Amino acid sequence: MHPSIIINLSSLFFFKYFNFFVENFIVAFQFLGYKFSPFTIKIILPIGISFYIFKTLSYTIDVSRQKLKPTKNIIDYFAFISFFPQLLAGPIERAKNLLPQFYSKRVFSYPLAVDGLKQILWGLFKKIVIADSCANYTNIIFNDSSNYSGSMLILGALSFTIQIYADFSGYSDIAIGVSRLFGFNTMRNFAFPYFSRDIIEFWRRWHISLTSWLTEYVFTPLSIKWRNIGNVGTGGALFITFLLCGFWHGANWSFIVWGVLNAAYFIPFLLIKRKKKVTDIVAKGKSFPTLFEFAQMSITFSLIVFAWIFFRANDLNHAILFIKSIFIGLVHKSSYIETINFVYWKIGLPIPLLIFLFIIIEWLGREQQYAIANLGIYWYKPIRWAMYYSITFAIFYFNGIEQQFIYFQF
């Protein structure tokens, strides 16, 4: 193994996973009857470590596979690793895409800059107006979940589902938009994943840079190595890939279960070898999906919401109790009354209406790189600018509800 890979993986292990393995090692030996005094090291986790470690790994692997010529300029290499729009939370850019752009001469492009500003604007709207508003109610319900049940907990899960998408894709939009202001074209990271009709399509559209990274450097090599054992090899490669995906997000059993659960969703589709073109978009060229497509999206979305509970929960025990309380509470009429009162008195109508408007805009722009890329392009100019000013006003109005980006912790 290349020394660079060993150094990078060792750094990631120490900062992110050392205490997790120590704690579980002690628990395992205590279970066997051995006595160990629990201890942990107070480690400050560098922000975004998982992202820039994966960038360095992809560079080293591509060079060792001779898919990429090593750069002779160390400044260009460090500029690639520390490219500031992507440094804290991705996208996980490939060297073969970004490095050549450092070599080429860049001139100011007005259309590219305008497009970048529009994407930044939409990213800020997602983060500040949608994600941060949802975060407030997500935290209320998840942090005190033992006092809620049934439909209230479902509301919390739905709130987090919207929050994490608006938060993370919002950051990605800002990062991509800022890159365009400097003349860089970077990879897309989200392609309207909640409009997916099955789990395969969802993972083709969610966190695209991580999914493609794991596919290229984990799943494909393993599936080729185990191709002689057929579906078992394919399923095993997929299981390990999702296990690593969950573990990449955090040193917690709830993240691991989240990864395993997504593997369980995914494997049946992979084994029946369902094929669909990458360019396939739900209801392409139409205003509404068919009833069958709507049913597919609803089922897929429900599975995703369920999996997000493990992702958001404090730990595995919290997630299990949360899910248990949902099913127990759904049979009680008081649970629904409690939810109606919570929505009416604590949330109010503006937030649900804004979320509904957000979903409509995302649906209308689902064939574009981001929702408002072409929205209003043929409108009368004052109306189009009124839309941009309205989005800007909403951003400033909701700016007081400040929440850290979720993926900064990874």
CA distance 332 to 338: 10
User: Is the CB of residue 370 less than 8 Å from the CB of residue 119?
Assistant: yes
Chain center to CA of 401: 21
CA–CA separation, 205 vs 139, rounded Å? 26
70: number of Cβ within 10 Å: 13
> How many CB atoms are closer than 10 A to CB 94?
21
Q: Is 249 a catalytic residue?
A: yes
Q: Check if the beta carbon of residue 138 is closer than 8 Å to that of residue 282.
A: no
User: What is residue 381's DSSP assignment?
Assistant: H
Distance CA 201, CA 184 (A): 28
- Name the catalytic one among 207, 249, 318, 332: 249
| CA–CA dist 172, 407 (Å, integer) | 11
Contacts of 365 (CB under 8 A, 6+ apart): 192, 371, 372, 373, 374, 375
Catalytic residues: 249
